[in-house]
Amino acid sequence: MAKFSGNMSGIVEDYELSYEAGDPKQANYEPTEPPARLVTDSTRMAARSVAPRHLHLGLCLHRWCRQAHLKKLTVITALLVLTGRSKADPTTTVPDVPPRKTIPRVGPSGFPPSWDLDGLYLWLGPSAAASHVDTEWDSTIGADAAVIRIREQAAVAAIGGSLGASRWTVRGGGRIWLDAMVGTRVVGRMAGLSAGPIVELSDFSHPRLGGSIGVWTFIGITPFARLGTVQDLGMFGEVGVHIALPVFKRR
């Protein structure tokens, strides 16, 4: 039984706390039993684990290292073994490395200068042109692929071929061409001629054969002009531009 008393304005009142018999809950100042838990506490280390002790490197090695004179003997033996392996014969003459006879190179041997554009190229890109055919003007949109060999310092500086296709924007159908190309340097620019067959396609008739000859120049893009003839359609003239993008180069 616990008794609490207090004093307020000179009046003392006693309060008694009672409990029923058999009630496990008691109001007292006695410490209660610790709650049930596992034997191993994960937040604490056992005393045997934190007690200071020697580092065990094996039973035999541990006993060996505890002897002071044996420690010194071990260190001296290790030094003798290591220095004995690195000694050199004083009577041996090692000749100097012979001097270099060639100029050293950095990177790939014979790396070409950036201004050297000679090589075999594959050019791909869109093309657009305005054509006058069958007494009417019309435009074409297409694409062109060219394989060309460049030798800037040669008389024939460019030689290759071009395969392209385009579609008419108004009349319907389209055109396929295969041209041979040859060029040289003119006033510091590459310019040349092209010639080859043409196949005219239509949505309402059979394919018609033809041919053309043209001129071109390379100024970052490739403007061109072409004059030719097509079966049943007569002569035609065409001016346009091909945006040549080099996608492959081989020397």
Comparing CA positions, the residue from 3, 7, 52 lying closest to residue 28 is: 3
Tell me the per-residue pLDDT of 202-226, one tens digit each, with 9 for 90 and over.
888 899 999 999 999 988 889 999 9
Are residues 223 and 217 in contact, defined by beta-carbon separation less than 8 angstroms? yes
Tell me the per-residue pLDDT of 170-213, one tens digit each, with 9 for 90 and over.
888 899 999 999 999 988 889 999 999 999 998 888 999 999 99
**Rounded mean pLDDT, 149-166:** 92
Distance CA 213, CA 204 (A): 27
Residue 165 vs residue 203, higher pLDDT: 165
Distance CA 177, CA 198 (A): 4
25, part of any domain: no
What letter represents residue 44's amino acid? Answer: R
Q: Is the pLDDT of residue 39 over 70?
A: no
Are residues 164 and 144 in contact, defined by beta-carbon separation less than 8 angstroms? yes
Comparing CA positions, the residue from 206, 232, 210, 234 lying closest to residue 132 is: 234
Q: Is the pLDDT of residue 157 over 70?
A: yes
153, part of any domain: yes
30, part of any domain: no
> Which residues contact residue 243 at a Cβ distance below 8 angstroms, ignoring those fewer than 6 apart?
125, 126, 127, 221, 222
Are residues 197 and 211 in contact, defined by beta-carbon separation less than 8 angstroms? yes
Are residues 131 and 142 in contact, defined by beta-carbon separation less than 8 angstroms? no
Distance CA 173, CA 220 (A): 30
Tell me the per-residue pLDDT of 131-147, one tens digit each, with 9 for 90 and over.
998 888 999 999 999 99
DSSP calls for 63-101: HHHT-HHHHHHHHHHHHHHHHHHT---TT--PPPPPPP-
* pLDDT of res. 16: 45
**Rounded mean pLDDT, 236-245:** 92
* pLDDT of res. 13: 46
79, part of any domain: no
173, part of any domain: yes
24, part of any domain: no
32, part of any domain: no
5, part of any domain: no
3 state DSSP class of 9: coil
3 state DSSP class of 40: coil
Its pTM surpasses 0.85? no
Q: What angle do CA 206, 238, 158 make, to 5 degrees?
A: 105
Cβ density class 215-244: b for 16+ within 10 Å, e for less: ebbbeeebebebebebeeeeebebebebeb
What letter represents residue 231's amino acid? Answer: Q
Comparing CA positions, the residue from 22, 17, 21 lying closest to residue 3 is: 17
Q: Domains in the chain: how many in total?
A: 1
Q: Residue 177 is part of which domain span?
A: 119-250
Output the domain CATH number for residue 192.
Answer: 2.40.160.20
Distance CA 45, CA 41 (A): 8
Q: Is the pLDDT of residue 113 over 80?
A: no
* pLDDT of res. 131: 92
Neighbours of 107 (CB within 10 A): 6
